Amino acid sequence: MSQQFSYEIAHLIGATQLMAGFGLLYQRRVFAVLNTFAFQALALAAAAAWQAHVQHAPHLYVTAAIALLFKALAVPFALHWLVEKLGIHRTVETALSIGWTMIVGVALVALSIMLVLPVTAAASALTRESLALAMSVVLLGMLMMITRRNAVTQVVGFMALENGLILAAVSAKGMPLVVEISIAFSVLVAMTVFGIFFFRIRERFDSLDVAYLESYRGDRS
Amino acid sequence: MLIAGALMTLPLLAVFAILAGRRDFSHAVVYAGCFVASVALLAGGLQYLGGHSGSPSVVLPLGLPWIKAHFRIDNLTALFLLIINLSAAAASAFAVGYGGHLPQRRRVTPFYPIFLLAMNLVLLADDAFTFLVAWECMSLASWLMVVSDHQDAENRRAGTVYVIMAVFGTFCLLPCFGLLAGAGGDYTFEAMRLRELGALGSFLVALLAILGTGSKAGLVPLHAWLPLAHPAAPSHVSALMSGVMTKVALYGMIRILLDLHGELSWHWGAGLMLAGGITAVLGVLYAVMQDDLKKLLAYSTVENIGVAIIGLGLAIAFKGDGQKELAALALVAGLYHMANHSVFKTLLFLGSGAVIAATGHRSLGALGGLLKRMPWTGAAFLVGSAAIASLPPLNGFVSEWLILQSLFKGPAMPHWAMKFGVPVVGAFLALAAALAATCFVRAYGVAFLGRPRSDAAAEAEDVTFGMRVSMAVLAIICVVMGVIPVTVTDALTHVVRPLTGIDLAVSADLGWPWLSPVSSTRGSYSATILVMFGLSLFAIAIFIVHRLGTQATRRADAWDCGHPEDIPESQYTGPSFAQPLRRAFGGTIFQARESVTMPEPGDSSPATHQVRMIDPIWQGLYVPLGKVVDWIADHVNRLQYLTVRGYLLMMFGTLVFMLLVVAVRQQL
Amino acid sequence: MNAIVWQALQIVLVVALAPLVTGYVRWVKARLQGRYGAAPWQPYRDLYRLLQKEAVVAHSASWIFRAAPYVTFASVWLAACIVPTFTTNMVLAPAADLIALVALLAVGRFWTALAGMDVGTSFGGLGASREMLIASLAEPAMLMITFSLSLVSGTTAPAQIVAFVLSGNVGIEVSLGLALAAMVMVAIAENGRIPIDNPATHLELTMVHEAMVLEYSGRHLAMIEAASMVRLTLYIALIATLFAPWGIAQPGAGAAGAMLGLVVFLAKAFILGTVLAFFETSIAKMRVFRYADFLGGALLLGLLATIFLYVSEAV
């Protein structure tokens, strides 16, 4: 198996993840967002497993397993349960229309390509592509957090962002396992915090629209 | 000397029109004279286009005593003479039957020959002074015709906006030529070509030229006057303003940027290209929402100018980058589109004139079913619509194909701005072309198909023979320019050779009917072959169907899924056709808001549906600008009430300031 | 000489095969939905039956209504003759590249939409308006796909793209993946398949294409139907040719190569037809006002495919 081929497969998986990132922006139903997110995490697991196979780095299999178990299964199920439990409105509430979000998304991808190209001029084209992909996924995650009003979709945006980080990490050779595990745990903690947070704001405002929190900010004079 | 003779005739016709304006026959005489003059000028252009007769120039002792008027015909001038006088001839022939019946005909006829004369002189001018005088005459003559129907408040507003924008354009062109002429003050184009511009001079000249000519051509955001002024004039004048005057503006842009201005950096090309892309998309989005047929056509002009400017911008970018062959290709594409647009836009405006003459309406909501009442106009308008929607095998598609082909080569440039900008502009161009198709399906479908929506439309009669012929000729030219594109591009290569310094082979190695720029493996298109092939398939299809099946046909009432309505109001209207697009694009760009008010139960009044849209450029740019001007005017007003000493102080201050400028300049 | 023969074969093949492909997709769908379904060759019978029937034309219709079916069919047929299916060695293939192909399909759409408005009914206008909305986004998306393909291969001619891909110069590019996704979305929209439009619907308010051609009957309807079938085959061939050109005969391959290409093409067509049937069965139709998001997505994917080429240094 040639080096070239292994990179091509890696990039294809990365691109799948990017497409899923766009899919997240495109969906209008909360459940569809969760499914798309699960799909993205699955792609991440595949990317990690493929890198483990190619780099002969068994610890990346652990990363893949973590991604699969936590992000592709546990988190979507938990959020699914939360949405049902809290009786949240099933449509995604957007701050910016879906068409415009996608246009901004494409602009962000172009931006990350532009940024990555000069920085990594010395590196091979293949590393550049992985970096550009990962960075795009991160930026799309951020975009999702900004343009969606509902707290659940914001959490998904955060997770998607983190998917991009891990993608960058597995693509670069030699990231220690410790980092991965700590990231995975931090995600779990974040997930738990968000979960509690949901219950709290839900109790208080009868909604998960974070705009309601605005009027309770202390620093407004 | 055909050209000189024709040009002399035009002012005489204007004088005649003024003297004999009261007599009804005089209008027909003037327009017929204009037709003859245009045909003569057309023949003149054709004669010089080959470039075999050299580029003759003549110096006349006109104007200011120390600046003589210089005229010259080179290939670029000859091409534009051709473009302009072709449309002018058609519009004049149309006006023989049309212009004499306008309500304000005496306010139009005298200025029409002047307008033609001025446009031709802009093309022929070989020094800045003549160019600007002709340019100004062109603006004024067209302005007078725009305000000819001055009883209508809307036309008066259009006239005001137009005259302000025309002054703005000239205001930009004056210093532009001043900078080109330099301190020596030699205003001939010959001297300007030889002059070296500094970095700042180069920048300012390019900027001012783009602003000055772009405002006349209708480049967004300087287009605001165009959709107001073009429809306000009588239709044959609208045809000239939209189809021809915008081309004169683009001629100015090409002349200054590619000929007089020595070395233009690729940045300007990139900027122009992007501006062109935005102009194209915005123009067609506006067009697709319009209910007034002439306004729709005017906005579509904005779109097409954008498309031509994409080609021009690409050419400048390629040239700045040293890729001469691609520059020539892009320029050929841009020029092709300009020629095409002048043909089909003139045709469509004349068609709208015919519709107005026949029905008295220009709102789509009052038309419908005209194809049956006006078969000639309907057929010609259909050809024009298909051409402007860039459908093969008509001419609009050829230029779009060429522009896309040169765009697809854009990423070969080493600049990142171009690499990322070109795909975006490509998407804009593709979007504009597809929306143009939608726009003209809508315009044609609502106006000419279906059932008549008013009594006037139901009783319309087709226009006179002369008007029909002038439209038919333009329609035929649309087809011819589409079916034998290589012949046209071969002629255009003569024009671009001196501007880009290279001889482009548009049918690289495949030969005559094959359009395959760059190389034959790069992609090719042959309308000639496609038409023959397509027609045979068409014939085969008809043959098989009639062989296998029955030919029995029965006329019956429309089925309409089982519940046909007799009233024509049940048809789709212009606004309802545009509704999906308004939802898709209008929400953010035009802030389109729809509201429905339903009557109370038991109330028999009809429900109403309202759409409110705002023009983002007008609201966002022109209204604040107007406020700023008002504010400045209010404050400057105080200067009217100064004491004598105050006035003297001002004069003194100005004098000292000027002296300071001179002193500083000498030090530099 | 061979080029002329293959061209003639192609002309016949696309028309002869189109009803079978459509019938096959319907048959697979029926089976997937638990119905027995009509035989795959039912469309041939349908077309023949329609040809025998008298054509009814509304009083308010003009000549455009009667000409449109033939123009539409001829333009789609012409476009289909130019897409390489089993060989790239066709004498008329250089007459149109991908850009011209897109425009040829636009000709058919232009006429059908006009015909929809010609009778002056509400449904005809509704269909035409929606069809043009779809087209005004799908067509640019298709041009962006062409753009990225032309950047990869340096040409817009389908035959040359095939030659380039088959020469092994191109690996598995991310851009090609994105372009393929966009292409599938465009193909779905242009053929009026689920989730954009439902070819089997006769529920008034959900129709797009069907609403536009509601007034047609007899031989006119046959032409319209046949045009849709040829269009479906065309898009299947286009996807197969541009993204999976393996097996297509190149110039100089001879008769044996062409025959092999034919067999491979038939296999590809039926595989893609099966995929389409599965896809359509598993998904619901979307609301009309979601079209813009869906097709805008396709357009942006096409744009993304182009931009991504810069990273992989294919340009």
> What's the pLDDT score for residue C93?
84
Task: Say what angle helices A151-171 and A59-66 make with each other, to 10 degrees.
Answer: 170
B449 interface with C at CB cutoff 8 Å = yes
Give chain B positions within 8 Å (CB) of A99.
584, 588
Closest CA–CA distance from residue B337 to any residue of chain C (Å)? 17
A75, A191 Cβ separation under 8 angstroms: yes
Average pLDDT over residues C162-171: 80
Residue pLDDT, tens place only, C293-304: 899 889 999 998
> What's the pLDDT score for residue C210?
85
Residue B337 burial class via C-beta count within 10 angstroms: exposed 0-12, middle 13-18, buried 19 and up: buried
A-chain residue closest to B589, CA distance: A100
A218 interface with B at CB cutoff 8 Å = no
Distances (CA, A) of B15 to B9, B26, B34: 10, 11, 13
B214 interface with C at CB cutoff 8 Å = no
Beta strand segments in B491-539, E:
none
Number of domains comprising chain A = 1
C-chain residue closest to B450, CA distance: C120
Closest CA–CA distance from residue C315 to any residue of chain A (Å)? 12
Q: Do B449 and B411 share a structural domain?
A: yes
CA distance C269 to C16: 13
Q: Do B479 and B461 share a structural domain?
A: yes
Q: Do B572 and C125 touch (CB under 8 A)?
A: yes
Q: Do B609 and B534 share a structural domain?
A: no
Number of domains comprising chain B = 3
In a domain, A150, yes or no: yes
φ, ψ at B389 (rounded to 5°): -80, 10
CA distance C170 to C165: 6
Q: Do B419 and B501 share a structural domain?
A: yes
Radius of gyration of the CA atoms of chain C, in A: 19
Q: Do B396 and B467 share a structural domain?
A: yes
B389, B478 Cβ separation under 8 angstroms: no
pTM exceeding 0.90? yes
Residue pLDDT, tens place only, C225-267: 999 999 999 999 999 999 988 888 888 778 888 899 999 999 9
Give chain C positions within 8 Å (CB) of B522.
154-157, 160
Q: Do B327 and B457 share a structural domain?
A: yes
Q: Do C62 and B553 touch (CB under 8 A)?
A: no
Assess whether pLDDT exceeds 90 at residue C15.
yes
In a domain, B8, yes or no: no
Average predicted confidence (pLDDT) for chain C: 89
Closest CA–CA distance from residue C117 to any residue of chain B (Å)? 6
- Specify the amino acid at residue B448: F
Give chain B positions within 8 Å (CB) of C58.
555-559
Q: Do B466 and B359 share a structural domain?
A: yes
Assess whether pLDDT exceeds 50 at residue C314.
no
User: Residue B651 is part of which domain span?
Assistant: 622-667
> What's the pLDDT score for residue B389?
94
CA distance B495 to B324: 14
Q: How confident is the model at residue C288 (pLDDT cuts 50, 70, 90)?
A: confident
A67, A48 Cβ separation under 8 angstroms: yes
Give chain A positions within 8 Å (CB) of C293.
26, 98-99, 102
Q: Do B455 and B412 share a structural domain?
A: yes
Q: How confident is the model at residue C315 (pLDDT cuts 50, 70, 90)?
A: very low
Of the partner residues B420, B587, B588, the one whose CB lies closest to the CB of residue A110: B420
Name the interface residues of B facing A (CB cutoff 8 Å): 416, 420, 584, 587-588
B-chain residue closest to C57, CA distance: B555
User: Residue A208 is part of which domain span?
Assistant: 3-216
Select from B334, B380, B385 the least CA-distant residue to B217: B334
Q: Do A26 and C293 touch (CB under 8 A)?
A: yes
In a domain, B52, yes or no: no
> What's the pLDDT score for residue B476?
95
Residue pLDDT, tens place only, C39-78: 999 999 999 999 999 999 999 899 999 999 999 999 999 9
How many residue pairs bridge chain A and chain B with CB atoms within 8 Å of each other?
9
> What's the pLDDT score for residue B429?
95
Give, for A157, the enclosing helix (H) or strand (E). Answer: helix A151-171
C-chain residue closest to A13, CA distance: C174
Q: What is the DSSP letter of C248?
A: P
In a domain, A65, yes or no: yes
In a domain, A221, yes or no: no
In a domain, B142, yes or no: no
Give chain C positions within 8 Å (CB) of A133.
174
Q: Do A132 and C307 touch (CB under 8 A)?
A: no
C140, C106 Cβ separation under 8 angstroms: no
Residue pLDDT, tens place only, A22-45: 999 888 888 889 999 999 999 989
Assess whether pLDDT exceeds 70 at residue A121.
no
The structure tokens listed for B429 are 């161009």
Give chain A positions within 8 Å (CB) of B416.
114, 117
> What's the pLDDT score for residue B70?
87
Q: Do B600 and B461 share a structural domain?
A: no
In a domain, B644, yes or no: yes
Alpha helices in B50-152 (DSSP H): 75-98, 111-124, 128-146
In a domain, B173, yes or no: no
The residues of chain B scoring below 70 in pLDDT are 1, 50-54, 63, 183, 506-512, 518-521, 667-668
Assess whether pLDDT exceeds 80 at residue C29.
yes
Q: What is the DSSP letter of C55?
A: E
In a domain, A116, yes or no: yes
Residues 103-122 of A with CB under 8 A from C: 103, 105-106, 109-110, 113, 116-117
Give chain C positions within 8 Å (CB) of A19.
178, 181, 301
Give chain B positions within 8 Å (CB) of A110.
420
Residue pLDDT, tens place only, A207-216: 666 666 666 6
What share of chain A has pLDDT > 70, as a percent?
A: 73
Residue pLDDT, tens place only, C78-107: 999 999 999 888 888 888 899 999 999 999
In a domain, A8, yes or no: yes
Q: Do B539 and B586 share a structural domain?
A: no
In a domain, A20, yes or no: yes
Q: Do B634 and B526 share a structural domain?
A: no
> What's the pLDDT score for residue B350?
94
Give chain B positions within 8 Å (CB) of C117.
441, 445-446, 449-450, 572
Of the partner residues B371, B404, B522, the one whose CB lies closest to the CB of residue C154: B522
